[in-house]
Amino acid sequence: MTRPVPWIPSVLYGAVLLGGLYYAAIGPGPGVRSAGFAGLLCALTVLDAREWPVASGAVFAPGAVFALRAVLLGAVAALDPSGLSRVLFVLLPFLAFFVWGRTVSVVLGAGCVAALAGVFTVRVPHWEVRAEYISDLLMFALGVVLAIAMAAVAVREQQARARLEGTLAQVAELSAARERNRLARDIHDSLGHHLTAIGIQLEKAEAFASLDAAGSAQAVAHARWSANRALDEVRASVRTLGPEAESGPAGPGRALTDLVHHLDGGSGRITLEVSGTERRPLLVLYRAAQEGLTNACRHSGATQIHVDVAYEEQGAVLRVADNGGGLGTAEEGFGLAGLRERLRLAGGSVELRSSATGTVLTVRVPW
């Protein structure tokens, strides 16, 4: 149920009270009827100012409150010798609009006009040929129409505000979900990759500890480099906590060289080839290389991994190819799903071809 406009009844009550007291002052003078008239208007003001419970089974349901208001209005009209209080009956269709809607409001408004005509018929002989009563009836009917129109506008405004609040809540929820997804992608692509690299290098260091002390120490150094890089990227994310930058850690060209060097550890398992001229750094290209290398090193069992970066006229193309056993029946994980989302936002594309002889990941990023 929509809420009525609270100030309109109060303004009408105040205007009628002042008009009635002024009429009493210049006419018959204040008396018991004037006191009762003022007291009932105050009671109506309190009634409309209070929020009555509307739940099922409540003592003061909307219909009961509305009926009480109608009785009080009738009592006010009976105690008002000036006749000004009849204007208050426009509140009945006005307030009914908020409780029961347009149809009930229009029917009730027509009933109020008909009731006023009936009162004139009973109390004023031949009122239908007296201009002042015809004018009063027409003005009252116009007031009813305006009250219903005002209620319709108020209800539409409240409904529009409710829809707007709902839309804003949905936008906030979607924005929060998008930010959660972005943070999840960043954690997976950055921290997840570096942890994988650290694990690979530490396994190498452990395997060669008794056979090749220098190679084992080099693997530990590469693991330390990955740990420091992970820490740097976490600090950068904490500092910004905003939309991800479009530049890589140091520009993909040099960053990819460092990435391959420390991940490969001098074994010659991973090779890198770069052609063309880099126009501007692309973080998404670096993240794609991280994802491709992480999957190839961890899951494929490949002995050879080749990374090819070509800077072309329309954009950059990255290929990560390995000679591993392929994906088989495994489904794509969160990393590839996050990579596809990154490329979608960047206007690029991802192509993944896998077989028993190897996997090729191809990423295209427009300038």
Contacts of 20 (CB under 8 A, 6+ apart): 34, 37, 38, 80, 82, 84, 85
Please count the CA atoms within 13 angstroms of the CA of 299 that sit on its side-chain side.
Answer: 18
**CATH class given for the domain over 251-367:** alpha beta
Instruction: Write out pLDDT tens, residues 50-77.
Output: 655 544 444 457 788 888 888 998 898 8
* Segment among 83-97, 175-189, 306-320 with least mean pLDDT: 175-189
**Domain spans of the chain, in order of start:** 7-169, 251-367
pLDDT computed for residue 110 by the predictor: 94
Instruction: Write out pLDDT tens, residues 246-272.
Output: 444 445 567 788 778 777 766 778 888
pLDDT computed for residue 243 by the predictor: 39
Residue 289 has pLDDT above 80, yes or no: yes
pLDDT computed for residue 56 by the predictor: 43
Greater confidence (107 vs 45) lies with 107
Greater confidence (7 vs 242) lies with 7
Decide: 365 and 316 in contact? Cβ < 8 Å.
yes
**What is the average pLDDT score of the chain?**
80
Instruction: Write out pLDDT tens, residues 117-161.
Output: 998 899 888 898 899 889 989 999 999 999 999 999 988 998 888
Confidence of residue 291 (pLDDT cuts 50, 70, 90): confident
Decide: 219 and 267 in contact? Cβ < 8 Å.
no
User: For the residues 189-193, what does the mean pLDDT come to?
Assistant: 70
CB neighbours of residue 231 within 10 Å: 12
Residue 194 has pLDDT above 50, yes or no: yes
Tokens for 161, please give them: 């505000």
Instruction: Write out pLDDT tens, residues 339-357.
Output: 888 888 888 898 888 888 8
pLDDT computed for residue 57 by the predictor: 46
